Structure 1
């Protein structure tokens, strides 16, 4: 059971819980994308419009960006933990929102509008695009539901006692 101090701290740091989750989710999903699709499966590089060496450099910069976002989110989370202000439901909502927003941006802007790279270079890439973007939308919807639920609780000044 949460103490009254911990419950009130959640409300004071409600935005920080959300932004910590968003940064972590964005960084983690970008790291996962770079690690799995770029390095392990060799489906593409971040920038495929040049040489392999440029592609590898772009992957390194993308990897650094993802780690900065991930570590930034974790630093915010550590500060919340220190202040006894972690609101896990809101934080996970932020994680899912950040991951989904990044994935949808990647799948629409980087893959289709800017054409930096495709998910995979195959004849029927549309299947990969559809699956990629559906997963992104599902992450965004679930994250938004969690954030909305905690926003309602925050506005009411009530928290769940079993969190």
Structure 2
């Protein structure tokens, strides 16, 4: 699930950066200081998102190699990570820290509501999938971890 969550955070950060920062040019990650700092902050966001995507896929590959991966858990983690990033961005980055708004020069309330509602929908889907994985593991008894051969 952790691998999926890392991939989900990286994926949602990439969607945010590509769509809202680059294609629509609605904002930068940090808009409070001006153009150059905004571009640099987008670059830092891009570097972190790439790191999370690469690390998440390596972690997923490692669990697949060991036979410890669950597609359902990875998918649940992906949705939880994506929704968690989006909700954190919408509440903390937009409202608490005020790094940027979704869009400037318009009433942001509809944008905020849509952004945070989408985040909650992603989180709900992830939670439902995680619950299904947990129920399946309890039924089959596969929730117990096997002893590690090097332990």
TM-score between both structures, scaled by the size of structure 2: 0.90
Between the aligned partners of 2:39 and 2:21, the Cα distance in structure 1 is: 9
- The Cα of 1:86 is off from its aligned counterpart by 2.5
Aligned counterpart, 1:23: 6
Gaps of 5+ in 2: 143-151
1:4-153 aligned at under 5 Å gives the runs 18-153=1-136
State the aligned residue count: 142
Root mean square deviation of aligned Cα: 1.2
User: In the TM superposition, what is the alpha-carbon distance from 1:158 to its structure 2 partner?
Assistant: 5.0
Give the drift of 1:49. Answer: 0.5
Runs of 4+ residues over 6 Å off in structure 1: none
Q: Helix, strand or coil: the match of 2:26?
A: coil
Deviations 1:99-124 (A, max 9, x none): 00100000011001111000011321
Distance 1:122 1:157 in 2: 55
3-state DSSP of counterpart to 2:69: coil
